Structure 1
Amino acid sequence: MGTWDIGPFDNDTAADFADELDEAAREDREAMIRGVLKRATGHADFLVIYDGERAVGAAALVAAQHPDGDPACPNYGPKEPLPELPAGLRKLAVDALDQVVSNRSELAELWAEAANWPKWRQDITRLRNVLDPPIPPQREGLFEV
């Protein structure tokens, strides 16, 4: 695994994807991100590491445009500005992240063997929560009639 840290672009595959986005025409970048996310969600049997790493990077780019999202990695993420991504990509990004952490994911298998797996998993959960915020627990008595 060509990984040097836990961030979405802290691996060779996702950093290469960022470079590909920078080299693409601005109007093609949304389709590239969508394609990566669809590829990750389309694996019924097993998600290979390279598709998983790219999917995490793509999901991070979608999350970065959300008001609660963190900016994409300034060091290894895309340098060129992305177009405004449609809100509909959030659901696809959530589905891709769910696949990345599933028991059908090579990336999850490899991270499960690493010492900093809890931090990686926490970061994936944080990304997912930006894209699909959890519903807060209902307070008792709030809806009493």
Structure 2
Amino acid sequence: MEEQMGAWGEGPFDNDSAADWCSELHDAHPSERGRMVRAALATAASNSGYLDLGDAAPAIAAAAIVAARLPDGPPIASAYAPDFLLAGESLELDEDLPELAIAALGRILDEDSEWRELWGEAGATAFPQIDRIRAVLSGPTELPGQIALL
């Protein structure tokens, strides 16, 4: 049996934990997807202890999804992103999610975070990805109604 190599890239979707979460998001009923994005962000943002990679990576992917819906948001093009988004389907998200995403990303970048620890050891090449997402989230925060993500 051929051994599968795990995904470990600097993009918000390019690791096993994020890819698994994206697969679950894709498989979920469309009416549940917005709640799943919120839950991923809230899990990271509300964590007051050591933040595991398994909670941080889905929150980064969720933040990237929220950011992609905003003006000047980065397009979603990773092969590990949810297939429905890559196919151009829409996703309804609440207007308060950019603020929650900023809080989640802030928590992920804190000292007590496995994601930060691992990327610090790897030379911190993923930090600019997070900075770009945060910059978009910090800009105009009005989410357009159900637009397709590219």
> Normalised by the shorter chain, which TM-score bucket?
0.7 to 0.9
Normalising by the residue count of structure 2, what TM-score does the alignment of the two structures yield? Answer: 0.82
1:23 equivalent in alignment to 2:27: yes
What is the TM-score with the length of structure 1 in the denominator?
0.85
- Work out whether 1:13 is the aligned partner of 2:21: no
For residues 13 and 74 of structure 1, the distance between their equivalents in structure 2, rounded to whole angstroms, comes to 14
Q: 2:128: which partner in 1?
A: 122
The corresponding residue for 1:141 is: none
Residues 1-145 of structure 1: pairs in structure 2 closer than 5 A: 2-80=6-84, 81-115=89-123, 117=124, 119-133=125-139
Q: Is the 8 A contact 1:9 1:73 kept in 2?
A: no
Shift of 1:124: 0.4
- Write the distance in 2 (CA, Å) between the matches of 1:21 and 1:35: 11
- After TM superposition, give the deviation of residue 92 of structure 1 in Å: 0.3
Counterpart CA distance in 2 for 1:82 and 1:28 is 13
Q: Gapped runs of 5+ residues in structure 1? A: 135-145
Superposed displacement of residue 41, structure 1: 1.0
The percentage of aligned residue pairs carrying the same residue is: 41
Q: Across the two proteins, how many residue pairs are aligned to each other?
A: 131
Q: Please list every run of at least 4 consecutive aligned residues from structure 1 whose deviation after the TM superposition is greater than 4 angstroms.
A: none
Q: What SS is found at the alignment partner of 2:126?
A: helix
> 1:74 Cα shift?
3.8
Higher deviation after alignment, 45-54 or 81-90: 81-90
Report the RMSD for the aligned CA atoms in angstroms: 1.5
Distance 1:103 1:60 in 2: 21
Deviation at 1:70, TM superposition (A): 1.0
Partner Cα separation in structure 2 for residue 17 and residue 82 of structure 1 = 18
Determine the C-alpha separation between the residues in 1 that align with 2:108 and 2:98. Answer: 15
- Deviation track 1:17-56 (CA, whole Å, cap 9, x = no partner) reads 1110111000000000100111001111111111011110
Q: Check whether the contact 2:25–2:36 (CA below 8 A) recurs between aligned residues.
A: yes
* Structure whose CA Rg is larger: 1
